[in-house]
Structure 1
Amino acid sequence: MRTPMLRTSLTVMLSALSSLALAAPFAYVPNEKSGTVSVIDTANDTVTRTLTVSERPRGIAIAPDGSRLYLTNSPTEALIVVDLASGKPVDSWKLGDSPEGLYISRDGKLLAAAVEEDNSVALLEAATGKTLAHIKVEGENPEHAVFSPDGKWLYASAEDAEQVDVIDVAAMKQVGHIPVAKRPRGIGFTPDGSRAYVACELADTVFAIDVASHSVIAKIPAGKFSNGITVSPDGKRVYVSNGKDATVMAIDTASNTVVGTVPVGKRPWNMAITPDGAKLYVANGRSDSVTVIDTASLKAIKDIPVGSFPWGVVIQ
């Protein structure tokens, strides 16, 4: 009797492991006005869960192991920690007045939050919420503070600035800035960390930056109110959302030229791409939807209704 039971148990275990291995990643979308996070199964592009997380979630990051979501919440000036197994908030860590973009280091150890009214970037331990520093930046009303892949740098953008502020993570201070154009918004690094791309909203331009020298090497014309930036996993393309045009453009990083434009919903904002680079998910802030783009054909393949005022997307 033991042998058939053992075989049955092994079959069930292998089947479960196989299902987990084949499970598509999930896209998490903070809905600023609804106070929720929509969870999208990227295998079938449907919302499978809606998490009630906070009053006004904006910035979002996810632990590398997929166990936790981290969100900024403006009304309580806090970072909200959500346990994904239960779907419930389990902690709240103070940040400062009007926190926006939130990013996690590749190793999952550090969180960086842009705190608008404080003109600072808050650096925290992801495991404990311990505040390591409030790093003052030159740009007023910082919105994004993005880690380089090696975790050495944070590049910070601000609404009232014409520069990208450079933060040395180990020293926990700003060590320089890179002149760009008015209102830098989204920032993305290539996977090898050699370049960063920054969208400047009021200049309708994407700036390519050489990270080694912290200097601009190309200016790429984009659409009106260019803001969100996402880089493909292979580093061959950069995607920029254009808020006023309701489009997303694809930029070839070899030539730093636009190779395609895709219509999406109203006021496209922040975005994320699947780990295989096959699909791009775009938060449409004024359409209450997420547009799914097939990156091979550069065509929109689905619009997914979510909550009110989606701010961005993370995928894990």
Structure 2
Amino acid sequence: MAIVDGDTETVVSRVPVGQNPAMIELAGETIFVGSSGGGEIAAVPVNDWSLVGCVPVGTQPLGLCFDEARKCVYVADYHGGSVHVVDPALGSMVETFVLSRTGYHNRTDPPACCRESAATGRRTVALALAPDGSILYCANYGTYDIARIDLRTGAEIEAFDGVVGPRALVVSEDGKELLLAGAGGEESEKVDSLYVIDAATGKRLHEVFVGLAVVDLCQVRDGSTVYAIARDEGVLVGFNRETWSELGRVDVGVGVDSLAISADGETVYIGNGSTGDLLIVDAASYTVSGSVGGFANPKDVYVLP
């Protein structure tokens, strides 16, 4: 994991966190890193990069989500068909939610690209928590749907239809909508839009055009603006959250894979897996203001407060 100083645009430290790190999440004073190459997550104290601990969890942890009210981290197990619960204070896994294998009730068969025996199951890749803490949403790659776990009972409830090749899932600031990014699949399953889904009914409300292969999205703190990137067209696009009108668009290079926004909403950071660069974009003018190079296929970006 590379630590970048946003002011000087330089790498100030590199922290060993396991094989193929792919997801970063801040939980209190600890940074957790999911490793797609092993069955563990790394725990790195914000105040001391040298004290790296490892928490065994599942088979291939990818999506991470911090529940501040319950003081726990949810970990999506890609090949395990489950979501694990980690207690940061104990540094260990304390519970597991096992997902059903059927998925969305109106479509039980996975797409053609996901029918190999090694890719069976739901294959959860992204998690998002309802603002009131009642529901954990789980975007699944194998069945391209959204599982829902009722955290009050620990039971899975009816799944929603999702998107082919899901990559990112965000709950709107008011909790009424789910924002879903998908990279698509085979030729007949290409995805070029951000999906807006009613969080109560699962109905798809909008398909907002971004560009081919929508791989990540984020929203500013007050929820007024949403940003999304399209990997195969290499664009960053900003939208008005209320009207879904396009606010701006900028070329950031084919191969972009992840993005995050600063706490003040003024800067967007984008990782490009093809070039190994971290791009810095001025959110007001939609211009690339700088870049930091030297990364090996960056998979996630997180801005510390």
User: Structures share a fold, TM > 0.5?
Assistant: yes
* CA distance in 2: counterparts of 1:47 and 1:265, whole angstroms: 21
Q: Where in structure 2 are the equivalents of 1:193-272 lying within 5 Å?
A: 193-202=175-184, 203-272=191-260
- The one-character-per-residue Cα deviations of 1:103-130 (angstroms, maximum 9, x if unpaired) are 2124471211111111222222232223
Q: Which amino acid aligns with 1:73?
A: S
> Secondary structure at the residue paired with 1:241?
strand
* CA distance in 2: counterparts of 1:158 and 1:144, whole angstroms: 7
Deviates more, 1:155-164 or 1:294-303: 155-164
The yes-or-no answer on 1:163 pairing with 2:145 is yes
Which runs of 5 or more residues in structure 1 are unaligned?
A: 1-36
* CA distance in 1: counterparts of 2:273 and 2:51, whole angstroms: 24
Cα gap change, 1:187 to 1:205, in 2 (>3 Å): same
* CA distance in 1: counterparts of 2:173 and 2:242, whole angstroms: 14
> Secondary structure at the residue paired with 1:315?
coil
Match in the other structure for 1:184: 166
Asked if structure 2 preserves the Cα contact closer than 8 Å seen for 1:53 and 1:88, the reply is no
Q: Residue 143 of structure 1: CA displacement? A: 0.7
The yes-or-no answer on 1:57 pairing with 2:21 is yes
Asked if structure 1 preserves the Cα contact closer than 8 Å seen for 2:233 and 2:253, the reply is no
Aligned residues: CA RMSD: 2.0
Asked if structure 2 preserves the Cα contact closer than 8 Å seen for 1:133 and 1:172, the reply is no
Cα gap change, 1:50 to 1:177, in 2 (>3 Å): same
Which runs of 5 or more residues in structure 2 are unaligned?
A: 104-120, 185-190
TM-score relative to the length of structure 2: 0.84
Q: Where in structure 2 are the equivalents of 1:32-111 lying within 5 Å?
A: 37-64=1-28, 67-107=29-69, 109-111=71-73
* CA distance in 2: counterparts of 1:108 and 1:240, whole angstroms: 29
- The one-character-per-residue Cα deviations of 1:238-280 (angstroms, maximum 9, x if unpaired) are 1111111111111221112333222114421222111111111
The aligned length equals 278
Structure number with larger C-alpha Rg: 1
> Secondary structure at the residue paired with 1:276?
coil
TM-score relative to the length of structure 1: 0.81
Q: Residue 290 of structure 1: CA displacement? A: 1.1
- The one-character-per-residue Cα deviations of 1:151-173 (angstroms, maximum 9, x if unpaired) are 22222112223322222223223
Asked if structure 1 preserves the Cα contact closer than 8 Å seen for 2:21 and 2:37, the reply is no
The structure with the largest strand share of the pair is 1
Cα gap change, 1:267 to 1:200, in 2 (>3 Å): same
Q: Residue 216 of structure 1: CA displacement? A: 2.3
* CA distance in 1: counterparts of 2:154 and 2:70, whole angstroms: 17
